[in-house]
């Protein structure tokens, strides 16, 4: 009964947030981007909670349970993900997207790399692989609720995904951002409670390592259980890089930069996100390792965090912890649903079907798309596709390899042109998919993300040597986004000298008149 009450309160709160912010969304920009008024703290937490997803509570711990210490390579990269993501893209992408008048990350690519093929190819890749991500989150949500409430998986899927679909449909980006904020706090608190309880039982990290070594010495080595990746530095590089730089290629993550209230908030958001990351990022993998000792022979490793919560904590606390896990899943699922609605509404409907669509029509179509994608995803999740880890890594890798060079070069390399962008998206995505589908990682010793990102960068650089260059007006905006416009030598000095007398006169007038006193200002 405790679990029902705690989860019920949480789900009602999420619905209430959706209804509240739904009333605030008056136009397409507020519905799709929150009116570009998201502050630094909300930006930081929505970036990180969107990035983490059900993977951090189910996929990551499950992989640690199966492979041992090797999976900490993923955490090592993830620990610096926020620094790279916000530091490289934050300010510049916010400025350039505003100058270009973009409301979606796909529209942003088309306007930076002007070509009808840019949006068509980018939209197709994004829709297919973001959809795979949505499936992973819905599957994770269903599994969590089924365990939490002891109900059939199909019932849990319908209830859990129904709530996600509703508040995303109703409230748009603002509902997603604010639910992500509260969910981020719950996520950290939940994992820390399990971590502390498990560490107490095992006698700290030393006790855990001793017990793992006794079970299998390779569990605490660098190459995975049974040295499965022995000497495969390409796999290690991919495991580190996929989360260190991969977030910069995810459309549902980079759209957070576009929604920031001001480019000046990027630095503060970076600090907050990095601190939050270090508090959280290693813990899920360590819980998976502790589960090897505390819950051996677990039938479904993706349930290790849930089983640990029930095993180690009082029922009320366990219920709160499991709600925190639901928070992680929902915080990513809602962002991806929102992105799907944005892309289908803005990039497909308004671009190809109704170019003169009004704000109300665009909002309506985006909401309908959110609803349709959510219902279809729930139906497919009921069939139970591959596990959360497999779906997330597959989709993450394909998206990152397709878009990362294009997003970075958009604001950092003026020579990048439509030909390079299109070549990069196609070659990077195909390499990642083929590498994963044919098992080339084990044959070549190269992780699919590592192979795909190398090919994607090469295609961008080589492709940009051909075709039409980017129009000058776009390059001028890139300069503005990077604050690279230089004043002619001596111009600033001359202007200061010319303006100085007028400035002094204005100050004298203000001091001598009653203007400052009437307006409650103190004279300088």
* Whole-number Å distance between alpha carbons of 334 and 175: 9
Query: What pLDDT does 27 receive?
Result: 61
Where are the chain's structural domains?
Answer: 2-481, 491-524
**Per-residue pLDDT tens digits for 135-170:** 777 777 777 777 767 788 788 888 877 877 777 777
Would you say how long the chain is, in residues? 524
Select from 357, 261, 254 the least CA-distant residue to 28. Answer: 357
**Residue 376: CB atoms within 10 Å:** 13
Q: Average pLDDT, stretch 306-316?
A: 81
pLDDT (tens digit, 9 = 90+) per residue, 95-146? 898 898 887 888 899 999 999 899 889 988 988 888 777 777 777 777 777 7
User: What is the pLDDT at residue 466?
Assistant: 94
Average pLDDT over residues 496-522: 52
Q: Tens digit of pLDDT for each residue in 382-417?
A: 776 556 557 777 888 899 899 999 999 999 999 999
The DSSP symbol for 275 reads H
| Distance of alpha carbon 272 from alpha carbon 283, whole angstroms | 18
3-state helix, strand and coil shares in percent for the chain, rounded to the nearest 5: 80, 0, 20
Which CATH class for the 2-481 domain? mainly alpha
Torsion of Cα atoms, 431 then 436 then 440 then 446, to 10°: 70
Least confident of 61-75, 173-187, 190-204, 225-239: 173-187
Stretch among 88-97, 197-206, 512-521 having the lowest mean pLDDT: 512-521
Q: Taking 60 as the threshold, does the pLDDT of residue 515 lie above it?
A: no
Query: How far apart (Å, rounded) are the C-alpha atoms in residues 431 and 401?
Result: 8
pLDDT reported for residue 425: 96
Residue 495 pLDDT level (bands cut at 50, 70, 90)? very low
Q: DSSP characters for 182-224?
A: HHHHHHHHHHHHHHHHHHHHHTHHHHHHHHHHHH-GGGGSSS-
pLDDT digits (tens, 9 = 90+) for 217-230: 999 988 888 888 88
pTM over 0.85: no
At residue 163's C-alpha, the angle toward residues 102 and 137, to 5°, is: 70
Look up residue 215 and give its two tokens.
């079970």
Predicted confidence (pLDDT) at residue 289 exceeds the cutoff of 60: yes
**pLDDT: which is higher, 193 or 453:** 453
More confident residue, 464 or 234: 464
């Amino acid at each position: 009964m405790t679990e029902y009450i705690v989860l019920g309160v949480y789900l009602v709160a999420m619905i209430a947030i959706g209804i509240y912010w739904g009333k605030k969304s008056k136009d397409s920009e507020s519905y799709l981007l929150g009116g570009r008024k998201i502050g630094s703290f909300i930006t930081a937490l929505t970036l990180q909670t969107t990035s983490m997803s059900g993977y951090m509570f189910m996929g990551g711990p499950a992989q640690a349970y199966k492979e041992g210490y090797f999976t900490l390579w993923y955490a090592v990269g993830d620990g610096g993900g926020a620094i790279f993501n916000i530091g490289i893209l934050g300010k510049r992408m916010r400025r350039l997207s505003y100058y270009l008048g973009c409301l979606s990350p796909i529209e942003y690519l088309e306007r930076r790399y002007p070509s009808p093929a840019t949006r068509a190819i980018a939209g197709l890749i994004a829709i297919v692989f973001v959809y795979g991500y949505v499936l992973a989150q819905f599957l994770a949500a269903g599994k969590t609720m089924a365990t939490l409430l002891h109900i059939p998986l199909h019932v849990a899927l319908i209830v859990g995904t129904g709530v996600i679909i509703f508040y995303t449909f109703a409230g748009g980006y603002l509902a997603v951002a604010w639910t992500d904020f509260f969910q981020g706090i719950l996520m950290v608190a939940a994992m820390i409670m399990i971590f502390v309880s498990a560490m107490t039982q095992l006698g700290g990290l030393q006790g855990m390592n001793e017990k793992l070594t006794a079970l299998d010495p390779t569990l605490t080595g660098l190459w995975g259980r049974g040295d499965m990746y022995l000497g495969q530095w390409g796999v290690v590089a991919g495991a580190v890089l996929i989360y260190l730089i991969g977030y910069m290629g995810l459309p549902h993550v980079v759209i957070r930069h576009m929604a920031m209230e001001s480019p000046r908030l990027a630095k503060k958001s970076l600090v907050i996100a990095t601190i939050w990351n270090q508090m959280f990022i290693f813990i899920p993998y360590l819980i998976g390792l502790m589960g090897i000792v505390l819950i051996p022979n677990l039938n479904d490793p993706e349930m290790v965090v849930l089983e640990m919560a029930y095993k180690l904590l009082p029922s009320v606390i366990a219920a709160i912890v499991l709600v925190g896990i639901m928070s992680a899943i929902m915080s990513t699922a809602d962002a991806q649903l929102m992105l799907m609605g944005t892309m289908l509404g803005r990039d497909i409907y308004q671009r190809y079907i109704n170019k003169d669509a009004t704000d109300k029509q665009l909002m309506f179509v985006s909401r309908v798309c959110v609803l349709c994608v959510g219902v279809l995803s729930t139906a497919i999740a009921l069939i139970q596709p591959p596990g959360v880890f497999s779906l997330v890594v597959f989709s993450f890798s394909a998206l990152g390899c397709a878009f990362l060079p294009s997003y970075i070069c958009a604001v950092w390399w003026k020579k990048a042109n439509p030909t390079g962008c299109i070549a990069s998206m196609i070659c990077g995505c195909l390499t990642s998919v083929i590498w994963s589908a044919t098992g080339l990682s084990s044959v070549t010793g190269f992780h699919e993300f590592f192979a795909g990102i190398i090919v994607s960068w090469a295609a961008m650089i080589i492709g940009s040597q051909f075709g039409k260059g980017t129009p000058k007006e776009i390059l001028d905006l890139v300069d503005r986004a990077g604050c690279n416009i230089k004043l002619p030598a001596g111009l600033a000095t001359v202007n200061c000298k010319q303006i100085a007398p007028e400035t002094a006169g204005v100050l004298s007038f203000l001091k001598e008149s009653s203007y400052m006193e009437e307006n409650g200002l103190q004279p300088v």
